[in-house]
Amino acid sequence: MYFKRKELEKFRSLKGLLIDVRSPSEYYKGHMPNSINIPLFDNDERSIIGTIYKKQGREKAVIEGLKFLEKKIELLLDKLFMNIDSHKIIPEKNSNELSIRIYCSRGGMRSQSIAWLLEKYKFNPITLKGGYKTYRRWILDSFSKKWNIVIIGGKTGTGKTRLLSLLEKNKYQTIDLEGFACHRGSTFGGLGMRKQPSNEQFENIIAEKLNSFKCSNNIFVEAESANIGKCRIPHEFFNQMKKSRRIEILRSESNRLDELIDTYSVFKKEELQESLLRIKKRLGPQRTKIALESINNEKWDLVCRSVLDYYDKCYEFEKVGKTNIKLLDLTDKKYDERILELINNVL
């Protein structure tokens, strides 16, 4: 396994074109970031070959695979060369500085077949020994490392995400879990966001970012529950978050209302009302009615005040980093570079 890890480190360090030759469903479930999916077999073809392999053995499965490949070889080569051209990779001159990297599930026949094809055209492709399986072991091991996490906490509307963006802009080490999950972690969390990644891909993105950091330096992470929409924070990493230092952001109610109005008033009324109805049992009939009417009449302060009361009650159950808290009062302060000094003084 150590040998495979060394191979993976070398594979990841190379620049150029990264090709995932697995089926589209495998790719969707999880893939190496920045990879391009050029599948050797589509989902149905992979299923058929897999069934033949189990029932009739490897040789029969290979023959069936070759039949599929024969029908699409021209199209496959067109996709490969289109991406090779876009990366300006030249035959016989691609090197460690600008390479063609290929991986499949276990580093077996699919990646080796594509590599063989490209070698016929005088390219020098590199395949990943152990394939995506080795990569995933590396991903999961990443969460067991000791990370120097600092939690950014605070009630809804204190501008935690905006503060995290400010830290990122100023070269601090940050993990934007909500950004990676494409969800803000509340009933309104999916508004204006892209489709959420699979949970496996969510883990891949987090681990890649973590492994670009220095372990000894602070890593700022917003306080979250274990689930962000449909994505779940890796168990080992979430356990570290729960025991980490925490900076608790304090802001006035008017500051928080302004923050929520700025964030959510830009969305369509129908989308806001649909999101609100998901928590109508918890809001109660009276508050739900007021909030829905307020959305319709664009009385954003009343909408946000109703929601604020609900989320303040939920906040009491949030426990990430609650054992080592430093308070930071940012009431009426602008979220600019001057705040960074206040954060450094608190740590």
**How many other C-beta atoms are found inside a 10 Å radius of the C-beta of residue 113?**
20
- Examine the residue annotation and report whether 104 is marked as an active-site residue of this protein: yes
* Catalytic annotation, pick one of 104, 182, 231, 304: 104
SS3 state at 311: helix
Contacts of 180 (CB under 8 A, 6+ apart): 197, 202, 205, 206, 209, 231
Comparing C-alpha atoms, which of 192, 279, 183 is closest to residue 233? 183
Token code pair at residue 66: 């070759």
| The token pair that represents 51 in the structure block | 């069934």
Q: Per this entry, what is the length of the chain? A: 347
Extract the tokens encoding 259.
């923050």
The strand order across the sheet containing 219-222 reads 173-175, 219-222, 149-154, 245-250, 325-329
Number of helices (H), then strands (E), in the chain: 16, 11
Backbone angles phi, psi at 228, to 5 degrees: -120, 95
Tell me which residue of 175, 126, 157 sits closest to 255, measured CA to CA. Answer: 157
CB atoms within 10 A of CB 64: 18
Rounded to whole angstroms, how far apart are CA atoms 28 and 232?
17
Which alpha helices (H) appear in 143-284, and where do they start and end?
160-169, 177-181, 199-210, 235-242, 253-264, 269-277, 280-283
**All residues at 6 or more sequence positions from 191 whose CB lies less than 8 Å from its CB, including other chains:** 184, 264, 267, 271, 272, 275
**Quick one: which H or E segment has residue 339?**
helix 338-346
Catalytic residues: 104
